[in-house]
Amino acid sequence: MIPVQGFEGQRVAVLGLGRSGLATARALRAGGAVALCWDDGAAARAAAEVEGFEIRDPMAAGAFADVACLVTSPGIAHLYPAPHRAIAAAMALGVPVDNDIGLFFRSLGLGEWDGMEEPPKVVAVTGSNGKSTTSALIAHILTVAGRSVQLAGNIGRGVLDIEPPENGGVVVLELSSYQTDLARALTPDIAVFTNLSPDHLDRHGGMGGYFAAKRRLFAEGGPDRAIVGVDEPEGRYLANQLAEGPGDLRLIRVSAGKLEGIGWDLVARKGWLSEMRKGRQVASIDLRGVAGLPGAHNHQNAACAYGVARALGLSPKEIEAGFHSFEGLPHRSQRVADIGGVSFVNDSKATNVDAAVKALAAFRRIRWICGGLEKEGGMAALAPAAGEVVKAYVIGREAAAFALHLGAVRHEICGDMATAVARAAAEAEPGDTVLLAPAAASFDQYDSFEHRGRDFMEQVAKLT
């Protein structure tokens, strides 16, 4: 646990008592603060009360009179589409609002690292797609190389629930826009921006607000080294803002295309990862045989992870060894079965159009299971990306409406996962890939993308 510093003897309100909320309350108590807990759900309040925390309704009269700070969970809106009423009340009274990420950076290493030969490092990864794979891959590479590493944030454990890092240790954080948007402290040693595509637009008031939330990771803390995907305009803008000139080696640019520059560049193209410094290639890795990282989108994730590992002093050979032993993450281009020459791949995490487009580019002769709760940002890119799709099998409560976005792609309205898997399997031929890449959120039929992915795997298991 990372005890929260700076609130000893003070009262701190905690709003939202899920995984990160309860961890925050415990860390506040460990640091000498009094946590005043609240959740709109009675069951969550009861669980906190069992642990001895004081329950206080933030909307009760005078609830913020003695409160030094309000700490809110990332899933609770603080600005758009409308702030939670407790957050609005705190802001109206001038009570600072923060989240567990801000408390983590505020509290980490205060006076404890002075005696260490090699102070720990914090790596923070953000972007629209590939954050989880990139973060897990970084942690895996470092582990294989013998480094002490902890993975936390939007993946793994809550940031305040990890152990204080030891001498030479590394903390790898996956950070969503919900987390970076509100944190009052953001000071990673290395920061990664994978890419940007429309997502969570209602939460951020549009694309500009969404990018601004991601950009805070770089603008607020000024990392010593930044790894930035530059294939979108926002990434190029961010890279330009960070670099003092074209040869600034504090910036590592990542691309799936050719880069003309004299700095530090990583290009993942046609299955190869090339490291370029000052216009010269200094290393290359063949990614085509790396089973845990299929497709061009995963090769870009690999490039981002490679950049972090190189910035931390690892050699290309050490990194390559980590690539080959990485098994991938569940629900992300996860090969779950091969039945009669037909591959079944679970990419339930492809919850937006851009992620689905990248998944479609990774396979050939695709039987595509798609559909769900449409997100803002447009669906126009789906049909042009479906060149390898033999047929689409559409699920979701609004399957017929979703199918309209597929254009001339041959499709069948299935409605539910069981029907889609059964129909795709019945029609598939040896060499085909049955791919779940929904291009939509799961909440019309499932609790989460993980729930949806597990249903896909269960239906595939029934085929055997």
Q: How remote is the C-alpha of 322 from its chain's centroid?
A: 20
DSSP string, 394-412: EESTTHHHHHGGGTTS-EE
| Measured CA distances, 74 to 21, 70, 151, 445 (Å) | 9, 13, 18, 23
Distance CA 434, CA 133 (A): 21
In degrees rounded to 5, what are phi and psi of residue 168?
Answer: 75, 5
Is 156 marked within a binding site? no
Distance CA 103, CA 183 (A): 8
Is 24 marked within a binding site? no
Is 349 marked within a binding site? no
DSSP string, 105-165: HHHTTTTTSTT-SS--EEEEEESSSSHHHHHHHHHHHHHHTT--EEEEESSSB-GGGSPPP
Is 143 marked within a binding site? no
Is 343 marked within a binding site? no
Is 194 marked within a binding site? no
> What contacts 443, CB < 8 A, 6 or more positions away?
372, 373
Distance CA 115, CA 412 (A): 64
Is 75 marked within a binding site? no
Distance CA 278, CA 394 (A): 48
C-beta neighbour count of 208 within 10 angstroms: 11
Would you state the structure tokens that stand for residue 222, as one six-digit string? 């000024």
- Spatial contact of 270 and 287, defined as CB atoms under 8 Å apart: no
Residues annotated in a binding site for ATP: 127-133
